[in-house]
Amino acid sequence: MNGRRIAAKCGRSSFCKWRTTLENGQCAFNQMATAEAWARGWTLTRGKPRPVNQTYGCKIDLGAPDHLERHVVSNFDAQALRELSSSLTVPGTWLKVCASPEMVTPFLRDIWTVQPLEYLMAATLRKDAIIARDDYQLSIRTSSAVTDAELRSKDGQLAARGRVAQSNGFAIFDQIVTEPEHQRKGLGRIVMGALSNVSIAGGSKIGVLVATEDGRALYKTIGWTIVSLVTAAVIG
């Protein structure tokens, strides 16, 4: 795969943040760097403790009964996954592995329940022209490294929302939701555009998120690339 390397600063992370620009102008994003950026941003958007680096990726201590801790495996290694999954026994423990279910499930015991497939995605951020709508009001609020965007209807009903956290040149998008009665109106695109513009103004270059199957379709239409499949599993 030929291309030129473009550095994106990794700050204090032990992993270099790289993306490769291919001859066709598209970007191939480094899986490990993207996964680590997502884990860091996810903790910021959720107000959780900072990830702790591990040989397989990182660990996030959460403390809730149904979400005790999360282990993000940023680069698949069969032996490492076998050892990790075998060492975990407490209900509420989660795995997020950057690999397909076919690769992951052979190394999971019966105590693990595999969740619906997810997608680690990334994009080079570009300023978006937000098309105003008379029937919805957009509001944006920023607190520290986290920005929230909301779209509300004229009667004040929440129609769509999203959140982004900025860290080391990455913008990590989370909780992008359009309420059922307001779907198929392009509101998710407006929220993403607003959050992208804020992130660019804050110095972020690369957007990162983990999408569901439904979300993947939206993000691909606005230029996002699938970096890796994500297999999630939980004990209990």
Tokens of 221: 């239409």
Q: Are residues 214 and 110 in the same domain?
A: no
Tokens of 223: 């230029």
Q: Could you tell me whether strands 112-114 and 118-124 are parallel, antiparallel, or unpaired per DSSP bridges?
A: unpaired
Q: Are residues 112 and 127 in the same domain?
A: no
Q: Could you tell me whether strands 158-167 and 146-153 are parallel, antiparallel, or unpaired per DSSP bridges?
A: antiparallel
Q: Are residues 111 and 128 in the same domain?
A: no
Sites in the chain below the pLDDT cut of 70: 1-27
Task: Indicate the pTM of the whole model.
Answer: 0.88
Q: Are residues 152 and 107 in the same domain?
A: no
Q: What is the CATH number of the domain that holds 201?
A: 3.40.630.30
Distance of alpha carbon 125 from alpha carbon 193, whole angstroms: 10
Q: Which H or E run contains 3? A: strand 3-8
pLDDT recorded at residue 28: 85
Distance of alpha carbon 130 from alpha carbon 115, whole angstroms: 35
Q: Are residues 151 and 203 in the same domain?
A: yes
Q: Which of 93, 126, 122 shows the shortest CA–CA distance to 195?
A: 126
Q: Are residues 52 and 103 in the same domain?
A: yes
pLDDT recorded at residue 228: 98
pLDDT recorded at residue 10: 34
Q: Are residues 191 and 146 in the same domain?
A: yes
Give, in order, the Cα–Cα distances in Å from 224 to each of 14, 63, 122, 130, 138: 26, 32, 6, 18, 23
Q: Are residues 192 and 96 in the same domain?
A: no
What's the domain count of the chain? 2
pLDDT recorded at residue 26: 54
Q: What is the residue range of 78's domain?
A: 3-119+230-235
Q: Are residues 132 and 99 in the same domain?
A: no
Q: Are residues 96 and 138 in the same domain?
A: no
pLDDT recorded at residue 20: 52
pLDDT recorded at residue 218: 87
Q: Are residues 128 and 61 in the same domain?
A: no
pLDDT recorded at residue 56: 96
pLDDT recorded at residue 128: 86
At 15, phi and psi to the nearest 5?
Answer: -110, 135
pLDDT recorded at residue 11: 35
Beta strands in 40-135 (DSSP E): 52-54, 57-64, 67-73, 93-97, 112-114, 118-124
Q: Are residues 41 and 127 in the same domain?
A: no
